[in-house]
Structure formats: C-alpha cells, structure tokens
Amino acid sequence: MLTLVSTGYSQQETLLSNARVVGGFGGPLLEFGKIRGEMTTSVGGGGGVVIDNFFVGAYGIGSVSNLRYQIENDDFYMDLAHGGFWLGYTPMTNKIVHPWISTRFGWGFADIDDDPFEYPSAGDAVFVFTPEVGAELNVARFLRISGSIGYRMVNDIDQLDNLTNKDFRSVTGQLTFRFGWFGPGQNNNQID
C-alpha cells in the first residue's frame, strides 16, 4: 500500500515540473513612440531570469524627450515613466536570428510641468501595458539584441488638463540589449 501511494505521488505532473532555470540577464531598453502625436524617446533598463525559452523579470523606463505642451499660451513639458513586470518568449534560441515576443506591464506617472526638473509636479498615476513582437540576434554568448514593434496602452489619465489616455497610446519600436547567461548549448550558432 505504501509503495502504491509513493509511486502515485512521484508521477504527479505540474505546470512547471519540467521547467528549468538556465540563466539570467540585464540591460538597457530603448523605446520610440509618440506622446500627443509627437515623436519621443524613452530609455530604461530591465532584467530577468531565463526559464527554458521564457523569461520573467522587471523593467523601468521613462521618456527623455521633453515634449512641449501649451496651456493658455504657457509652455509646459510632458513625459511618461513606468515600471513593472516583463515577460517574454524566445523560441529557437539556437539560431543566430530567432523570434522575440515580449510584454511589459506596470505602473507609472504621466507628468506635465512648467519646469521638467522641478519636483513635485502635477501628474497622474497610470497603468501601462506594452506587448511587442520582433526578432532577436545572438551577437555573442553573453549578448543578445532584439528589435521589435509594439503598442503602448496607457490607462487612468484623468487629472491632466485636456489630455486623455489616447494622447499617450502609441505604436512603438523597441531596441533591447540583453547581457547575461542564456544557458548551456543555447547559442551554438551565434557570431563570436
């Protein structure tokens, strides 16, 4: 009876029973998109743990272009900063170029102020969701670069004069550099 019970437990399957951590990474992120119809650049960073062909991590990013916005003939500056969770999937990682799918979602701050370096400023807390798809290049055993196209969805803009969620939503282009360890035998065909 004891043998049957222990055999039954050893055969139990779980969602993550075969998943294995094979590495980790960190690096800079660049995002190009629009805020209120004007092109802007955002810079940040992120990192994560590689589990087979998936990764789970965190990110933080903020706009570096001080976009001008006029309220009653006075110049103000707008920006957007957010951070949170970063999930991704990179199949066929043994190929030099392979698909890249990623999703970032988190919380942040949409800001408008007459002095971009003054704190505190008049702003609004937001939720941001950015799915993306593209391709990744194995440059070296420790470096991967991805280029992708995504869509930045912003919600909860309700305290900024004459601005809505739509003003911060945009098609985006991303450039991601991942430095780290991606597992043994994962990069057999990369450029060295």
Rounded Cα–Cα distance for residues 149 and 40 (Å): 15
Most confidently modeled of 35-44, 109-118, 155-164, 169-178? 169-178
Q: Tens digit of pLDDT for each residue in 89-147?
A: 999 998 999 999 999 999 998 887 766 555 555 678 899 999 999 999 999 999 999 99
Of residues 164 and 7, more confidence is placed in 164
Judge residue 179's burial from the number of C-beta atoms within 10 Å of its C-beta, 0-12 exposed, 13-18 middle, 19 or more buried: middle
Domains and CATH numbers, the chain: 20-180 (2.40.160.20)
Rounded Cα–Cα distance for residues 155 and 128 (Å): 7
Q: Tens digit of pLDDT for each residue in 23-59?
A: 999 999 999 999 888 899 999 999 999 998 999 999 9
Check: CB of residue 14 under 8 Å from CB of residue 20: no
- Tallying the residues shown for the chain, one arrives at 192
Rounded Cα–Cα distance for residues 92 and 96 (Å): 9
Return the DSSP state at 120: S
Residue % of the chain over a pLDDT of 90: 54
Return the DSSP state at 167: H
DSSP percent split of the chain into helix, strand, coil, nearest 5: 5, 65, 30
131 forms beta bridges with: 103
CA dihedral sign, ordered 6, 10, 16, 22: positive
Model's pTM, two decimal places?
Answer: 0.80
User: What is the rounded average pLDDT of the residues 81-91?
Assistant: 96
3-state secondary structure of 16: coil
